Amino acid sequence: MEKIDQQRRHLFGAAAVTIAAAQLGMVGSAGAQASKTKRSQLAPIKPGANTSFARLKQIDAGVLTVAYAEAGPADGPPVILLHGWPYDVYSFVDVTPLLASAGYRVIVPYLRGYGTTRFLSNDTVRNGQPSAVAADTIALMDALKIEKALLAGFDWGARTVNIVSALWPERCKATVSVSGYLIGSQEAGKMPLPPKAELEWWYQFYFATERGRLGYEKYRREFSKLIWQVASPRWQFDDATFDRSAAAFDNPDHVGIVIHNYRWRLGLAEGEAKYADLEKRLADFPVITVPTITLEGDANGAPHLDPSAYAKKFSGKYEHRTITGGIGHNLPQEAPQAFAEAVVDVAKA
């Protein structure tokens, strides 16, 4: 445990609120938060109680054939749960049955480059830019004939939730976003940060090099396990838990999508012209108007902001919750009860 704590301190340093101004271009105040919602009471669950989903489904949606887990009544209010990097649908393996038992139709897709989600054409650009991933979510909703859904996620998933709710609020009932407001832009990504803040993004700079691409290709499992350990220093996951998710990284497009995502953020890779208008709108850091609950673990070792830095980016009914007990970056898997309760609560807003 001490070794992992040392790794976290060495690789990430102290979380810097300056990232808010430099990369997100915003200021905020905790005073913008709404009064706290009365929390729902779901059946208690121990993290790790579940180890599998029912069989995965597959559907053509946009440029992809998307693999996804589904649970709950087909006519229940739809909830779409979105994972991040380097994680997969198993981040929601305990959240899903909680929400299904509460009457929700739960959809948990593999993002592009993960699991058995595949591109329909070999000629499609293996594009990892955030607006493309968000457009995938809209395409999935269209394919499943879901007009409006509650969206919840963390890491890349939280960023996708933010983008969909900002650009397509008519498709989004409410959101749950771990680590708050994560919309960024290439222009903001060009702004240098203080050294300690830059240190937190070490892997972004590694991926900017050919050595980094080759290293991630060769050591993707070892690399991902290190990220898990550093981002969630108090999460005592076992090998079986990691291996279930690591299988998703064997996707033939995984490395290309991940590398493109981080290079695009630094302006080192081009995006696709068809997403240019979306990126232009996102560069203005739009305010999110739908009801939202943001969450943060008290032991998140990954780069993140103080909640006061993004509170004013949510103009609808809003609440922030800090989840205690040594909870790290993979919050839905480490604290499934708290995550599921936030979904149920924001649905009532």
CB 150 within 8 A of CB 174: yes
Q: What is the pLDDT of residue 27?
A: 33
Q: Token pair of 32, please?
A: 């913008």
Enclosing H/E stretch for 105: strand 105-109
Q: Specify the higher pLDDT residue, 136 or 33.
A: 136
Exposure of 13 by Cβ count < 10 A (0-12 exposed, 13-18 middle, 19+ buried)? middle
Each residue's pLDDT tens digit, 157-209? 999 999 999 999 999 999 999 999 999 988 888 889 899 989 999 999 999 99
Q: What is the pLDDT of residue 36?
A: 62
Q: Token pair of 30, please?
A: 């905790």
The percent of residues above 90 in pLDDT, for the chain, comes to 82
Instruction: Tell me: pLDDT of 112 over 60.
Output: yes
Q: What is the pLDDT of residue 220?
A: 97
d(CA 230, CA 5): 7
Q: Token pair of 245, please?
A: 């998710």
Q: What is the pLDDT of residue 37?
A: 60
- Report the Cα 100 to chain-centroid distance in Å: 21
pTM: 0.90
Each residue's pLDDT tens digit, 244-281? 999 999 999 999 999 999 999 999 999 999 999 999 99
Pairing of strands 292-297, 318-323: parallel
Residue 318 binned pLDDT confidence (cut-offs 50, 70, 90):
very high
Q: Specify the higher pLDDT residue, 38 or 279.
A: 279
Q: What is the pLDDT of residue 38?
A: 67
Instruction: Tell me: pLDDT of 60 over 80.
Output: yes
